[in-house]
A and B are shown apart, each in its own frame.
Chain A
Amino acid sequence: MTMAVRNWRVDERPDAIRVSADVGDTNLWFTLPPGTRAPEAADSFCAMALIPAMALGEDLDLSALPPLTAGYVERLEAVQEIWACWNPFLRHVEIRSSAGDAPPVAAAGTVAFFSGGIDAVFTALARRPVLDRLVLINGFDFSMSPDEFTAALTRTSRLADALGLPLATIETNWIQFTRHHGIARNTTFGSCLAALGLALASERVIIGSSNSYARLTPMGSHPILDPLWSNGATSVEHHGSHATRNEKLMTIADHPELLRELWVCHVNPVANCGTCPKCLRFRLALALLGKERLAFPGVTDDPAVAWCGVIRYRSERAFLPEMIALARARGRDDVARRLIRAERGVRMRGFLRDVDTLFLGGALHRRTATAEASDLYPWGRGPLPES
């Protein structure tokens, strides 16, 4: 079986360049900011389609598209090697491209993707001296309506202005594309960013890290994986794993004009809802830094109590050690004690699970198997409650 990519189209419009192709049975498209050189290589579609092809176990046929840059298929061997190892559902596939090599074209300059979240703002702050522009994507974290995107753009522009950097935009139907193939965002988001970076054809593209070196897990964006999407003209770089999330926030907290506009929410693409697990963690960290009123002026409930209510989510409780350390460092022993109690609760649940596995033959686990059946997406579709 083959996943064929056909009907490549590049429409140069006054407001954007729209690039599209049919990937298998679905159309994939993205826009590029005006002034960007129209892509002459199929590298971005290759990067975007590779993991879906691996998931289907179908060879990727790009022969109806312009050629790839020289050596790109060989470069992606390492990507395939890693993913085939990380996820048994992904299989190594052949990549066929049209004859010849596309010229390795990239304009001088460095861009960074910019959602306005902690990772993005930290990277933009740290790499500001080398950055030429920031890029906001609609269709990456959320597929936003025009009104929502306008609101998100307004907020993100304020951040970019505060950083003194121009902000460009990209729109794509990538979310629908990956959902169509049933692949979780956590598996593919690095390839999407890398692909769009290649399409932007800047010399360097920077992806802000999602995790610190202390919490590296197999994930779509990873310090080992991201640079492997580079194509010889554009270098894809992963930045920020050297700092924990709270360390990043502490850096940003020195800039109230940035802190005020930070967006971390999983639920609302325009503003922080204040109640989702990510917002609650953000609120707690801000409260410990004495800055909560800046980003959440209206809220009154205790963020420590609220966040402890969501650490049943695996993605949240991973932050317990650094939250406890921050509470201690800020002299908030009351918060530290509460978090330690919550951590003990988590450990006790793990302890009981071990007792069940080791001494009861998994009898309790089998009784709750129905509830656990929802946890079928090891590559993450958002936080899942711990069984």
Chain B
Amino acid sequence: MTLRISGGRIERTTTGEQEISAMVGEQRLWFRVPERWPVRLSGDAFVVAGLLPAMRLGVPLQLDDDLAVSPALLDNLHRIQSVFRLWGPALRQPFQVVPVGAAVAPPAPRAKSVISFFSGGVDGFHTMLEAPEPITHAVFSRGIDMQLDNPMWDEAYARNAAWLSARGVPLVPVATNVRFVGRAFGLPWGTCFGAGLAAISHVLGAGTALIAAGHTWSELWADGSHPLTDPMWSSESTAIVHHGRNAKRWQKLERIAREPGILDVLRVCWQDDGYNCGRCEKCLRTMVLLRLLGLESPAFPPLTSLQSLARMRPSDRSEACYVEEARALAVARNDAPAARALAASLRRWQLRRFAGEVKRMLQGQ
């Protein structure tokens, strides 16, 4: 059995976008980019998107000859497989090293564009301000940063584009189902989002693509986007750069708040329920950071009750880590009520973990 990537094509959609697509096994993977963006058919994006599914299935990955792959990227795939093989238990994925068959493309020159993935959240704004080189384009991904059918897309796009436009950075809209293709193979987005963003970078032919980090250097657990693995998705022409591990989330928020207009458009919510729903875990921990830093943002409803904070249920250690950072800040800022509420939320996480361990012990695992 083989996971075959075939039928690569570039078509124009009815809305005037260019759609680059191929079949990954039985799944059609597509990327839609603006009509004037220069694109070419290559296997780079598809081999990046298809590698982890093939490793999960434990079958060879084979690309059709018209989907040739950069030699540097092909070489990097050995290294990235060696990492994900050993991360398999931590990511709860049975990753195996698999052969990758593809025609080798001639090495392409490095493009000049520097893109940064940007949804208008804390990490994206921070990287926009602190990038090691000027960003030429921001990329807003529909299907990743927002659901494909999210009615808030137009508003979020317009607000982000306006802020960026004032700084001379165009916002490039990209739509893709790469997130859902991974899911079809049993891969949560958290496991493959570095590969997904790298695939978009290759479709866009970026010279450098910045992926904003969600955590600091202290939180180097196995994850879909990681300072070790993100650069391994690079080719000769496209360098993938993981950026922003030097600052905690509250430090990023403090930094971006110094720039005019950011707090007016800041959007962190993934719930597709208003601009920022104000009730989800991401909204709440951002709202409490605003409170602790003495900041106000019209993009968020006011944090009227700390009960909602105390009721937050961090679902994994990444979320628990954010809550712990906020709790430490609350202690440092002598905000005892907020510290207590955040400690209560953390206790929920600890109890949840404890219950999981008890269950595993009872099951003899």
Contacts and interface: CB of A to CB of B under 8 A. Distances in A.
Contact of B217 (A86, A351, A357): A86
A234 to B, nearest CB: 21
A214 B87 contact: yes
Interface in B87-117: 87, 89-90
A223 B229 CA distance: 11
Interface stretch (B40-48, B149-157, B350-358): B350-358
Contact of A85 (B82, B86, B246, B354): B246
B332 to A, nearest CB: 13
A214 B347 CA distance: 28
A162 interface: no
A214 B361 contact: no
A354 interface: yes
Contact of A81 (B85, B87, B217, B220): B217
B218 interface: yes
Contacts of B361: 344, 347-348, 351
A350 B356 CA distance: 13
B245 interface: yes
Interface in A28-69: none
Contact of A358 (B79, B87, B354): B354
A218 B218 contact: yes
B32 to A, nearest CB: 34
Interface string B208-228: 000000001110100000011
B216 A85 contact: yes
B83 A213 contact: yes
Chain A's interface size range is 20 to 34
Contact of B82 (A82, A213, A321, A354): A213
B357 A347 contact: yes
Contacts of A348: 361
B24 to A, nearest CB: 25
A76 to B, nearest CB: 14
Interface in B338-365: 347, 350-351, 353-354, 357-358, 361
Contacts of A216: 220, 228
A123 B350 CA distance: 41
B97 to A, nearest CB: 10
Given A86-B217, A358-B347, A224 B227 contact: yes
Contact of B228 (A82, A85, A86, A224): A224
State the main secondary structure of chain A at its contact with B.
helix
A382 B217 CA distance: 24
A212 interface: yes
Interface residues of B, number: 24
Contacts of B357: 347, 350-351, 354
Contacts of B90: 214
Interface string A71-82: 000000000011
Interface in B185-221: 216-218, 220
A330 interface: no
Contact of B86 (A212, A351, A354): A212
Nearest to B351: A358
A187 interface: no
A216 B223 CA distance: 12
A217 B87 CA distance: 13
A218 B217 CA distance: 9
A358 B83 CA distance: 35
Given A212-B86, A214-B89, A214-B90, A82 B217 contact: yes
Contact of A357 (B82, B216, B350): B350
A85 B358 CA distance: 33
Interface string B66-87: 0000000000000100110111
A350 B357 CA distance: 10
B262 to A, nearest CB: 23
Contacts of A321: 89
Contacts of A244: 86
Contacts of A218: 217-218, 220
A142 B35 CA distance: 64
A223 B350 CA distance: 31
B86 A213 contact: yes
A279 B357 CA distance: 32
B130 to A, nearest CB: 12
A93 to B, nearest CB: 15
A242 interface: yes
Interface string A141-172: 00000000000000000000000000000000
Contacts of A344: 361
B86 A214 contact: yes
A223 B231 CA distance: 13
A223 B358 CA distance: 35
A213 B87 contact: yes
Interface string B37-69: 000000000000000000000000000000000
Contacts of B353: 354
Residue among B87, B89, B218 facing the most chain A CB atoms (10 A cut-off): B218
Nearest to A344: B361
A214 B358 CA distance: 24
A214 B83 CA distance: 8
Interface in A348-363: 348, 350-351, 354, 357-358
26 contacts: A81-B217, A85-B216, A85-B218, A86-B218, A213-B82, A213-B86, A213-B87, A214-B86, A224-B220, A224-B227, A242-B82, A242-B83, A242-B86, A244-B86, A321-B89, A344-B361, A347-B361, A348-B361, A350-B357, A351-B357, A351-B361, A354-B350, A354-B353, A358-B347, A358-B351, A358-B354
